Amino acid sequence: MVEALKQQVYLANMELVQKNMVIYTWGNVSGIDRDQGLVVIKPSGIAYEDLKAEDMVVLNLEGEVVEGDLKPSSDTATHIALYRAYPSIGGIVHTHSVYGVTFAQAGIDIPPLGTTHADYFHGVIPCTRNLTEEEIAEAYEENTGRVIIDTIGDKDPLEIPGIVVKNHGPFAWGNDPSEAVYNGVVLEKIAEMAYRTLTLNPLATRAPQYLLDKHYYRKHGAKAYYGQ
Beta strands in the chain (DSSP E): 28-33, 38-41, 57-60, 65-67, 91-94, 162-165, 169-174
Read off the pTM. 0.95
* pLDDT computed for residue 215 by the predictor: 96
* pLDDT computed for residue 221 by the predictor: 83
At residue 157, what is the residue type?
A: P
Structure confidence by residue, pLDDT tens digits, 74-106? 999 999 999 999 999 999 999 999 999 999 999
Q: Distance between CA atoms of 60 and 121, rounded to whole angstroms?
A: 30
Taking 70 as the pLDDT cut, the residues of the chain under it are: none
Active site residues: 119, 226
Task: Please name every residue paired with 57 in a beta bridge, in sequence order, or none if there are none.
Answer: 41
Please state the separation of Cα 70 from the chain's center in Å: 23
* pLDDT computed for residue 98 by the predictor: 98
Structure confidence by residue, pLDDT tens digits, 60-69? 999 999 999 9
Domains of the chain, with CATH numbers?
3-220 (3.40.225.10)
* pLDDT computed for residue 228 by the predictor: 81
